[in-house]
């Protein structure tokens, strides 16, 4: 009798496998980090083969830790870093180049050239919900075809496949060159700049503009259905592969934001705030993305507004690894608590430009307001506070687009254990911040989607009943102080703009 649902959570810095029981509780898990490759300034890459190897290892280890075998699993779900793009050979399974990561900015010239042909940054926004930006997967594939010797000719012969990381893993999990399924789901497809939000199909004219042969594209499926079974040679042999969502949609699903107006914010490498807008794809007029939230089988799709922030948790890593101001990520709260405020220092981490709501690829990071008074504690505090300020910018844009002010913010991700940050977030927003009892919401969302597809869970009502609050932070900062701090933040952001020259 099946006892668990497994989730593979392939993130920006690591790959995890988590087993969940019927109550949505974690039974066992395993995690493996992968290398971050920076061949040039603004370039960020991952090795897809390393990611696939790590995926196999964490699946086997999680099963071992639960004393379980494939037969104990009702299904496996997948969630992934979304806009990261891979191109590989359909016959050998070999990638033709490293995966180009969502943070990478090398496609700026491609996006600029497309915008200059007409429509500017909003050229495809009515169809895709997205601006022309380096963030998305489609232009990354164009770059690979243009810059890897022989890649375009191989693609035009039909020898190459492309996809986001979900497609790469689904293909390998279900057999690879020996019959692997070339699929993606609506949430990941909506992040390529190639899918029509309204038809949920590839837009061949956009693919033509990007010079991507349609033979490379995976088939688009819903987020919750049986796609196939685990390959015979693997640890998941015969297990239904039945759920797939991009990581931020998976976290939204795991936070049971099933009704219009509910929202969550994930604090990870970056921050990603999603607001469920129901069956209506709301066009943003304030720098947000319109995206697919989820689709269950043949049901109508549910849409979301999203605010994507590039650098939050990774700024803490940068403080640790590049500046060595702290010895470990967990140390930053204690260092920040050594002072009462930021000492007048503001840190805008525009390392790869600014994402929502600005969408300025010409911005670069800045630490402003420095005096001789500022010390290590103030710097640590400015790093944490930058996450809260960036989140407020997105919340204000979301309130303007939706016309419905946020009442409370559900939070998840690695940074939500930082209680100083969570209290400051509540203070800066002026609304309650709520952390759920089960913190692994991204993996849980993938497990929920897979479990629904095979009847492991009965429906959304059962999942909603499982959600429970762990901790709530209520605003305590005076309004005048909150607004004064935020005005200083906005001045700091203005200092980062128009930094990159055309010849940089």
Give the annotated binding-site residues. Answer: 12-14, 16, 82-83, 135, 247-248, 269, 313, 317, 414, 418
Q: Which single residue is written with the structure tokens 């959600």?
A: 467
How does DSSP classify residue 351? B
How does DSSP classify residue 230? B
Backbone CA torsion sign across 201, 442, 141, 308:
positive
Calculate the CA 316 to chain-centre distance.
Answer: 18
Separation between Cα atoms, residue 482 and residue 427, nearest integer Å: 7
Alpha-helical segments (H) within 148-275: 151-156, 165-173, 186-189, 204-209, 247-254
Residue 440 tokens read as 């692994």
Separation between Cα atoms, residue 429 and residue 473, nearest integer Å: 11
Length in residues, the chain: 504
Backbone CA torsion sign across 35, 44, 91, 138:
positive
Residue 361 tokens read as 């690829």
Q: Are 305 and 401 in contact (CB under 8 A)?
A: yes
By DSSP bridging, strand 408-412 and strand 263-267 are: parallel
Indicate the annotated binding residues for glycerol: 82-83, 135, 247-248
Calculate the CA 267 to chain-centre distance.
Answer: 10
Listing DSSP states for 282-323 in one string gives: PPPSSSPEEEEEE-BTTSPPEEEEEEEES-SHHHHHHHHHTS
Nearest CA among 230, 254, 253 for reference residue 241: 230
Indicate the annotated binding residues for ATP: 12-14, 269, 313, 317, 414
Residue 195 tokens read as 């899918």
Rg (CA), the chain: 22
Please calculate the CA angle 346-351-356 and round it to the nearest 5 degrees. 80
Indicate the annotated binding residues for sn-glycerol 3-phosphate: 12, 82-83, 135, 247
Alpha carbons within 13 angstroms on the beta-carbon side of residue 321 total 7
How does DSSP classify residue 346? E
Alpha-helical segments (H) within 66-147: 108-116, 125-128, 137-147
């Amino acid at each position: 009798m099946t006892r668990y649902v497994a989730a593979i959570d392939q993130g920006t810095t690591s790959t995890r496998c988590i087993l969940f029981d019927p109550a949505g509780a974690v039974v066992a898990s395993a995690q493996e980090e992968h290398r971050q490759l920076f061949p040039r300034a603004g370039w960020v890459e991952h090795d897809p083969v390393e990611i696939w190897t790590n995926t196999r290892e964490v699946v086997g280890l999680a099963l071992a830790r639960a004393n379980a075998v494939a037969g104990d699993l009702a299904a496996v779900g997948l969630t992934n870093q979304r806009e990261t793009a891979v191109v590989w050979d359909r016959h050998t399974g070999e990638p033709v180049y490293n995966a180009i990561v969502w943070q990478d900015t090398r496609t700026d010239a491609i996006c600029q050239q497309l915008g200059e042909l007409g429509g500017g940054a909003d050229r495809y926004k009515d169809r895709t919900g997205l601006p022309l930006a380096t963030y998305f997967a489609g232009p990354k594939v164009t770059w690979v075809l243009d810059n890897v010797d022989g890649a375009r000719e191989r693609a035009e012969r039909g020898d190459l496949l492309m996809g986001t990381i979900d497609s790469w893993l689904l293909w390998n999990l279900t057999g690879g060159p020996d019959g692997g399924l070339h699929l993606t789901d609506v949430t990941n497809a909506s992040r390529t700049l190639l899918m029509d939000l309204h038809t949920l199909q590839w837009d061949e004219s956009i693919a033509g503009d990007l010079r991507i042969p349609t033979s490379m594209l995976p088939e688009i499926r819903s987020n919750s259905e049986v796609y196939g079974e685990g390959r015979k040679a693997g640890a998941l042999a015969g297990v239904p592969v039945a759920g797939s969502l991009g990581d931020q949609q998976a976290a939204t699903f795991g936070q049971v934001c099933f009704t219009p107006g509910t929202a969550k914010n994930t604090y990870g490498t970056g921050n990603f705030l999603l607001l469920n807008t129901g069956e209506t794809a709301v066009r943003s007029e304030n720098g947000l993305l319109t995206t697919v939230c989820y689709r269950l089988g043949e049901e109508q799709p549910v849409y979301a507004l999203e605010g994507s922030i590039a650098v939050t948790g990774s700024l803490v890593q940068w403080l640790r690894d590049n500046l060595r101001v702290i010895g470990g990520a967990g140390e930053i709260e204690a260092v920040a608590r050594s002072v009462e405020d930021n000492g007048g220092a503001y840190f805008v981490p525009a390392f790869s430009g600014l994402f929502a709501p600005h969408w300025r690829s010409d911005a670069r990071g800045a630490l402003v307001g420095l005096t001789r008074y500022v010390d290590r504690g103030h710097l640590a505090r400015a790093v944490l506070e930058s996450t809260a300020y960036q989140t407020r910018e997105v919340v204000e844009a979301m309130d303007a687009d939706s016309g419905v002010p946020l009442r409370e913010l559900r939070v998840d991700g690695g940074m939500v254990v930082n209680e100083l940050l969570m209290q400051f977030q509540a203070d800066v927003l002026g609304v309650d911040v709520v952390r759920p009892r089960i913190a692994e919401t991204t993996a849980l969302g993938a497990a929920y989607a897979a479990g629904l597809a095979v009847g492991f869970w009965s429906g959304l009502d059962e999942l909603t009943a499982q959600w429970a609050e762990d901790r709530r932070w209520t605003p305590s900062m005076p309004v005048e102080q909150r607004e004064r701090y935020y005005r200083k933040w906005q001045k700091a952001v203005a200092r980062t703009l128009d930094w990159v020259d055309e010849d940089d």
